[in-house]
Structure 1
Amino acid sequence: MSDATLDASPRPRAAVSDLYRAVWRWHFYAGLFVLPFLITLAVTGAAYLFRDEIDAIIHADIKRVEVAQTGTLSPEALVASAVTAVPGRAIKYTDPPTAAASAEVTVATDDGRRMAVYVNPYEGYVLGTRPDRSTVMWTVRYLHSLRYFGPVARGVIEIVGGWTILLVATGIYLWWPRGQAGGVLSVRGDRRRRVFWRDTHAVTGIVVGGFIVFLAVTGMPWSQVWGGKVNEWANGHNFGYPSGVRVDVPMSDQRLTDTAQTSWSLEQAQVPETVPPADGATPIGLDAAVAEFDRLGLHSGYAVSLPSSPTGVYSGSVYPDDLSRQRVVHLDQYSAQPLLDMSYADYGPMGRWLEFGINTHMGQQFGLANQILLLAVCGGIVLLAVSGGVMWWKRRPSRSMGVPPMPADRRVFRGLLAILAVGGILFPLTGASLLVMLALDTAIRRLRGTASRAAA
């Protein structure tokens, strides 16, 4: 046997070991950054899956009414009752989604606030008022997206989404069975042994990893940079509407998302304008607009944004759990003619795919089964994060962060960095954070090397 043959056998094993170290090192960095956010996202996301049920219990005093045998009052009468209780200008009326639900009127007060006024639709009295979008579930939603903490925090969430995908990809490589039986789909040892937490982390990760990637990708449309740019790219050349939707009507500068809650595909859609008639005709009024929306077949619980000027429109929009019933209709405020009528079927292929993902992400698409599955996934994510933290704490050397060692052959980083570069191009903020992390890692290693040489 030649010397070349003798030297060949350890080389592949060394290369595999070096690649493992490189992947392990970046998995550690990704976990260090992502896991605290994953816990917050999982807890708030799990609660938001049951938003309607929770709000109906917590806010039962303003959201629930007894069904009366008499018919409901007219929308204009309900709005008048709301404005009497909270002086100002009514800007939105939300139709009761069920017979046992209250009507909601959004009022812009003279001091600049937006108040949600809940009215009994049968008797017309006000059940209560709250600042607009201040229910428990709206609070949870804003905590989930870190919206309370400004645009920088929302950018961090976008970075977390990209790093989460990296975390799962590197985790699968580390989990991949290399001849071992335990710790692949079973948990070994007891809690006093470090292997218990390693196996718990690995097995949980492989079970929920695919769901985590799905949630990260379907959460990206709400992100500040990536989501906004993709939305603009998909709909930006047609006043924010999907290509092919008829928009040959006058358009205002107002966005649909400024007037009512809307789907992701229509966040940048512009609201059309009414052309006031020359004969001095008067507006049709809210009652006639609601009657027209009912005739057009909008799903119950739709919101009607009221015109605020002679060129405004009545905008009816509804986004129920059933994607096929999503719809927005803008009515001419003088003739009640639909200026623009668009549903889920009118979205482009990318819009339909993303809306389907978003609907599933929110636990709506497949009913209770969707909610229960994602609740279990959220629980798995918390367990994954906690077990990773405990494993790191138990394994780390004393007075050290326990960063996995650098590979002996630095060339193994080339392929890994190429993959990271592709991810950075797809998700720009994540790419920028990867460069920052790489620079910090390099700087720390050089400082440590300098300190070691000085000590020697």
Structure 2
Amino acid sequence: MTDATDRGAAPEPAARSGGASDLYRAVWRWHFYAGLLILPFLITLSISGAIYLFRDEVDTWVHADFLQVSPAEEQRLAPSEIIAAALAAQPGTAVKYTDPLADDLSTEITVKPETGGSMAVYVDQYSGKVLEVRPDRSTFSWTVRYLHSFRFFGATPRMVIEIVAGWAILLVLTGIYLWWPRGQRGGVVSVRGTPARRVFWRDLHAVTGLFAGGFILFLAITGLPWSSVWGAKVNEWANGSNFGYPSGLRIAVPMSEEHLDHVAPTSWSLEQARIPETAPPEAGMPSIGVDAAVGVFEELGLHRGYAVALPVTPTGVFSGSVYPDDLSRQRVVHLDQYSGEPLLDMTYAEYGPLGRALEWGINTHMGQTYGVANQVVMLLACLGIVLLAVSAAVMWWKRRPSGSLGVPPLPSDRRVFIGLFVLLGIGGALFPLTGLSLLAMIALDLIWQWSTNRRREAPVA
């Protein structure tokens, strides 16, 4: 893909005269605007995404003082003892028990204090020693994740995700048109010249875009589920009235108003899934307790690293959930807190076709589906996007006229914009926030043209 070519700074060749030249200029102009708008965001998303791909490795290194422990399996404490140790260090109500992914990692207990936000308490499950008390989801990887999704800045800035994703798709499609060979001998799959010449940066941008474009499309589309408008609507459409329970799987038990994502990390398609309620207990009937509940989850074969949301009301349930790299091992199990019987046991195989496709895309986007190979390929894609942005900036700087923004020239026949705007309108309808930003850019472009023409027509004093 390219914002500018050597042909953009010199007269157009005869082969690109007339209508073809006008269309090229129109596409080039909007490719330039797309890059101008989102390249800074793409750099931020690429760097934070590249770091998050290796979140487990980075967290274990950065937080080794409280995440790593020395295994002593014969001395492992019961979950209730681990929770008691956590509550002694951080008073409040225990709301979640997270099983360590490996024997040499600590156990995390989430505690809700009487005031303030939830706290994460890390306990050595062999000695009962509390290793760390800190705000929930405040580790390095959670911080990077919130920066990557813009959730760190609140709900409104998260809308930027949808805008960037829509413009990234536009950037790739217009870039493919600009890259398409039109008789040139170089700059298609090879890079000409040296870094001192603009043609080098043009070719580097075009060739990098050729190979990275598919990954940009994939990352943009699979990143959209996290957007606050498009993602929420697709979630609702994909999963029906109960946001995630496949047809025929729900059991005839009362459903609470609590959502799964409020009590434990979950897959995207189940973020709004409601949690069942335990039937009101008979007088004096005790809860089975967390030790028995964890025992049931382990008998059912939940993958290591599962989280158990603890009941905090008489009608609450023990909710076990796990989302490992292996999609087939995703699972959510809700237990009656008095009988220990499963009220719901759902696996990835029981999601609908759209739900499975979306989860595969999200899992692969996060570098989980295919192990280290997935991480490396996504890392190379992130580096490719950064290289695209850098080469675009250098190329623009080298072709930019002194004292001007260097916006690509308007086509001589403005009618070519009609078809382009129709295509942009279709994209805007599919991605509403991107569509609104498109309208804003069109208005700014018209203002730019009007002010430029006024300056040209102004009499010289």
Which category of TM-score, normalised to the shorter sequence, fits these structures? over 0.9
- Say whether the 8 Å CA contact 1:221–1:227 is kept in structure 2: yes
The equivalent residue for 1:5 is: none
Q: What whole-Å deviation, never above 9, does each CA across 1:35-83 have from its counterpart, x for those lacking one?
A: 1011001100000000000001111111111111524110000000000
- Say whether the 8 Å CA contact 1:249–1:339 is kept in structure 2: yes
The change in CA–CA distance for 1:48 and 1:11 in structure 2 (over 3 A counts) is closer
Equivalent in 26, 34, 48 of residue 30 of structure 1: 34
Give 1:35's aligned amino acid. L
Determine the C-alpha separation between the residues in 1 that align with 2:97 and 2:78. 11
Determine the C-alpha separation between the residues in 2 that align with 1:48 and 1:239. 27
Q: What whole-Å deviation, never above 9, does each CA across 1:421-440 have from its counterpart, x for those lacking one?
A: 11111111111111111111
Q: Unaligned stretches of 5+ in structure 2?
A: 1-13
Displacement of 1:128 in angstroms is 1.4
Determine the C-alpha separation between the residues in 1 that align with 2:317 and 2:459. 76
Within the alignment, does 1:214 sit opposite 2:210 as a pair? no
Give 1:211's aligned amino acid. F
- Say whether the 8 Å CA contact 1:234–1:242 is kept in structure 2: no
Displacement of 1:248 in angstroms is 2.3
- Say whether the 8 Å CA contact 2:75–2:127 is kept in structure 1: no
TM-score normalised by structure 1 residue count: 0.96
The equivalent residue for 1:259 is: 263
Determine the C-alpha separation between the residues in 1 that align with 2:15 and 2:209. 31
What is the 5 A alignment of 1:40-439? 40-238=44-242, 240-439=244-443
Determine the C-alpha separation between the residues in 2 that align with 1:264 and 1:355. 7
Determine the C-alpha separation between the residues in 2 that align with 1:366 and 1:11. 46
Determine the C-alpha separation between the residues in 1 that align with 2:70 and 2:240. 45
Aligned-partner SS, 1:455 = coil
Determine the C-alpha separation between the residues in 1 that align with 2:237 and 2:103. 41
Give 2:150's aligned amino acid. L
CA RMSD of aligned residues (A): 1.4
Determine the C-alpha separation between the residues in 2 that align with 1:111 and 1:278. 32
Within the alignment, does 1:445 sit opposite 2:449 as a pair? yes
- Say whether the 8 Å CA contact 1:238–1:247 is kept in structure 2: no
Q: What whole-Å deviation, never above 9, does each CA across 1:278-304 have from its counterpart, x for those lacking one?
A: 343111100010011111111111000
Determine the C-alpha separation between the residues in 1 that align with 2:330 and 2:351. 11
Q: What whole-Å deviation, never above 9, does each CA across 1:139-165 have from its counterpart, x for those lacking one?
A: 100110111222221111210000000
TM-score normalised by structure 2 residue count: 0.95
Q: Unaligned stretches of 5+ in structure 1?
A: 1-9
Aligned-partner SS, 1:92 = strand
Aligned residues with identical type, % of pairs: 65
Aligned-partner SS, 1:76 = helix
Displacement of 1:236 in angstroms is 3.0
- Say whether the 8 Å CA contact 2:235–2:243 is kept in structure 1: no
The change in CA–CA distance for 1:333 and 1:35 in structure 2 (over 3 A counts) is same
Displacement of 1:447 in angstroms is 2.6
Determine the C-alpha separation between the residues in 2 that align with 1:239 and 1:159. 24
- Say whether the 8 Å CA contact 2:244–2:351 is kept in structure 1: no
Aligned-partner SS, 2:402 = coil
Determine the C-alpha separation between the residues in 1 that align with 2:368 and 2:402. 47
Aligned-partner SS, 2:95 = strand
Determine the C-alpha separation between the residues in 2 that align with 1:40 and 1:122. 41
Give 1:114's aligned amino acid. S
Determine the C-alpha separation between the residues in 2 that align with 1:244 and 1:38. 42
Aligned-partner SS, 1:189 = coil
The equivalent residue for 1:15 is: 19
Determine the C-alpha separation between the residues in 2 that align with 1:259 and 1:79. 17
Determine the C-alpha separation between the residues in 2 that align with 1:455 and 1:309. 79
